[in-house]
Amino acid sequence: MSKVVRSVKNVTKGYSTPEIKVRNATSNDPWGPVGGDMAEIAQMTFNDSQTFQHIMDMLDKRLNDKGKNWRHVLKSLKVLDYILHEGSELVVTWARKNIYIIRTLREFQHIDEDGRDVGQNIRVSAKELTALIMDEERLRVERQDRKSWKSRVTGIEEF
């Protein structure tokens, strides 16, 4: 159902192709983001500056979403982690400049209707990502070697 609503919204709100890609990869569906989607987004960060901007602005919006949409936040962290490794160098610059967006998610809180602490995964991801972005050397090495980080950012299983 949410999938149908999302595709209608994509049309009525006039989202661009890169925006739709990011919205789909970071949706409220209880699975994903899948590797294929992330790879595609990473590839698009090398395109023209407008495409880049649409991707980052949409990710930014998702990262700052409210607690109820915690999946948006968690999946955006995963996508960001992925494109920091596979995307354009501009992603790295963006992340350094706006690190406070990610850093401040380290205390993200949300308890769902069943009393589950769904913020935990976000806090852990935000912590790892903050450390990575601040460690220039490590990020440079990881950008050259896919194996060392791949397991961390593959699609999330059912959660």
- For residue 93, the minimal CB distance to another protein (Å) is 5
C-alpha–C-alpha distance, residues 116 and 14, integer Å: 35
- Judged by CB under 8 A, the residue of 56, 77, 80, 129 near another protein is 56
- Judged by CB under 8 A, the residue of 17, 43, 57, 148 near another protein is 57
By the rule CB under 8 A, 114 interacts with another protein? no
Contacts 24+ apart (CB under 8 A), 52-58: 52/88, 52/90, 54/16, 54/18, 54/19, 54/22, 55/18, 55/19, 55/21, 55/22, 55/83, 56/91, 56/94, 57/19, 58/18, 58/19, 58/22, 58/23
| 8 A C-beta contact, residue 79 and residue 22 | yes
By the rule CB under 8 A, 117 interacts with another protein? yes
Cβ proximity to another protein: between 101 and 156 the closer is: 101
Segment interacting with another protein (CB under 8 A) among 10-18, 32-40, 86-94, 148-156: 86-94
Binding site for another protein (CB under 8 A): 49, 52-53, 56-57, 60, 64, 66-67, 90, 93-94, 97-98, 100-101, 103-109, 117, 120, 123
